[in-house]
Structure 1
């Protein structure tokens, strides 16, 4: 059976092959339509289009049912091989597909686990976690495909963001200095607050330790210079953490830090009146071939965020 010379053969698509193969397998348009989740008239038209394109009759239709012609039986062998090869190629490509998610510190839980699991189940692709001091810079350099960013700082015009949810802010500060025998001295640590909570409106009294690269709280959070009068600048999460632990000042972070940071020199306090800290995904819309995977991850990320009813769950 030679059909390559027929003018209509170039219009044959995979959907035609799948439709024909389903009818041939079930010997029924009705059952094949149910399998393919399309209507029977649509299925009949699709098979008829393929027969017209090939210029041959593949199926005998009668009141007793559907049967393959001799040409149809021969064509079915090649059609099934083509479909199997295509499906195998897609599966192999998906197994090799990787989406690189950039983050600077403490991926929020359980959002991250839910989003990654949902995406990988839906696509057979894999999420590669990339820790970087500046996730937006990594996105610009195309070292990652999408980045998780916290806080409300502006992004470049070439970057798009999707808001996931908001996190509640808490304060963290150094505990009292311990003596050599392990007992706390009577002198409080210079950076240790004396109250059981901090008030956002008292920020001018703080010395605030700021991660200038990927932190969530800094001078940009207070309009018109109403924020702290003194800042200690750091360039990454580890520097920020150890600077707070060393008593250089107070840190303000999303409450996920209280659950995830276990540092013997640190103590957490509530912050009253503080605005929430937004959690966003940032990406470049000019991602080319990675755009499909990126959109699927955004879908999974938003689905996971919807299950986190407040910041304490995410």
Structure 2
């Protein structure tokens, strides 16, 4: 057997805490597994490093001499990992308006925990971007399930809001009910939009659909008075436009916000970002 980092981490934790139970909790392993790891290290070195009794744990003379060397090795290894991670980035794709404050919390939490930075990439088709390997993980909105093998992790739901031109007949209304939308032409972003004809049963859909191919076209088409639009509520705060008026939408189904990724992507980075993303969603 050769001495491994896990042996040094185990010994350092016990020496620092003077407790096998405390060190096991700190390392997230069982106490029997920790005891076996320490025993392996002592067997390999042919020296006793720790004196154990039922009440306390002390360093032997050999253990006290070995400890600073072990901790220097662990410190140097940690510095090497940090240096390598600073050269790595996680590429986060999004089609428009990252949800806030979730996005800022998720990215800062991930970067603080990993030392890896997040690069933002806007893409009209996140699924295609994943397959083309131009992003590692992507934010998506809506109910549509991406095709296999893309995996989806639901984060939370956003409320919908209606938007129209300031001169549009609906602009002076304080609120609009979901069932009333069919009375007006509906402007739809066919590429990355979250609301379209399929959002209603067939007999309740808007009679007139105005299609656009991206968010900028959608905004300007609504501003030109061609119809009304329906978007996540975040657009009220993030889309300042002098020609637009936002109207509260009642009884509308929420919009799911999710992350998608491929199972053969950078697994460790993706898993760590998912952890940070879920924590940010629950904050």
TM-score, normalising length: structure 1: 0.76
Aligned to 2:144: 153
Aligned to 2:226: 248
Distance 1:13 1:227, change over 3 A: same
Tell me whether 1:302 sits opposite 2:278 in the alignment: yes
Distance 1:82 1:266, change over 3 A: same
Structure 1 residue 262, shift from structure 2 partner: 1.0
Does the 8 A contact of 1:219 with 1:225 survive in 2? Answer: no
Tell me whether 1:144 sits opposite 2:135 in the alignment: yes
Does the 8 A contact of 2:171 with 2:245 survive in 1? Answer: no
Distance 1:22 1:157, change over 3 A: closer
Tell me whether 1:134 sits opposite 2:125 in the alignment: yes
Aligned to 1:57: 47
Tell me whether 1:66 sits opposite 2:92 in the alignment: no
Structure 1 residue 242, shift from structure 2 partner: 0.8
Distance 1:13 1:217, change over 3 A: same
Aligned to 1:271: 249
Instruction: Indicate the SS of the match to 2:18.
Output: helix
Structure 1 residue 33, shift from structure 2 partner: 7.2
State the distance in 2 between where 1:65 and 1:199 align. 72
Does the 8 A contact of 1:153 with 1:220 survive in 2? Answer: no
Instruction: Indicate the SS of the match to 1:161.
Output: strand
Instruction: Indicate the SS of the match to 1:96.
Output: coil
Which runs of 5 or more structure 2 residues have no equivalent in the other structure? none
State the distance in 1 between where 2:37 and 2:148 align. 45
Structure 1 residue 263, shift from structure 2 partner: 0.3
Which runs of 5 or more structure 1 residues have no equivalent in the other structure? 1-7, 177-188, 308-314
Q: For 1:216, which of 181, 194, 199 is the aligned residue?
A: 194
1:86-105 matches, within 5 Å, as: 86-105=77-96
Instruction: Indicate the SS of the match to 1:133.
Output: coil
User: What are the superposed Cα offsets for residues 19-46 of structure 1, whole Å, 9 maximum, x if unpaired?
Assistant: 44567x76xx836875673688765543
1:161-310 matches, within 5 Å, as: 161-176=152-167, 189=168, 192=170, 195-224=173-202, 226-287=204-265, 290-307=266-283
Q: For 2:18, which of 27, 30, 38 is the aligned residue?
A: 30
| Aligned residues: CA RMSD | 3.0
Distance 1:275 1:41, change over 3 A: closer
User: What are the superposed Cα offsets for residues 130-167 of structure 1, whole Å, 9 maximum, x if unpaired?
Assistant: 11222222122221111111121231122121222211
Structure having the higher Rg: 1
TM-score, normalising length: structure 2: 0.84
User: What are the superposed Cα offsets for residues 280-306 of structure 1, whole Å, 9 maximum, x if unpaired?
Assistant: 11111221xx21121121122112112
State the distance in 1 between where 2:59 and 2:226 align. 83
Does the 8 A contact of 1:234 with 1:240 survive in 2? Answer: yes
User: What are the superposed Cα offsets for residues 205-226 of structure 1, whole Å, 9 maximum, x if unpaired?
Assistant: 2211111111011022123253
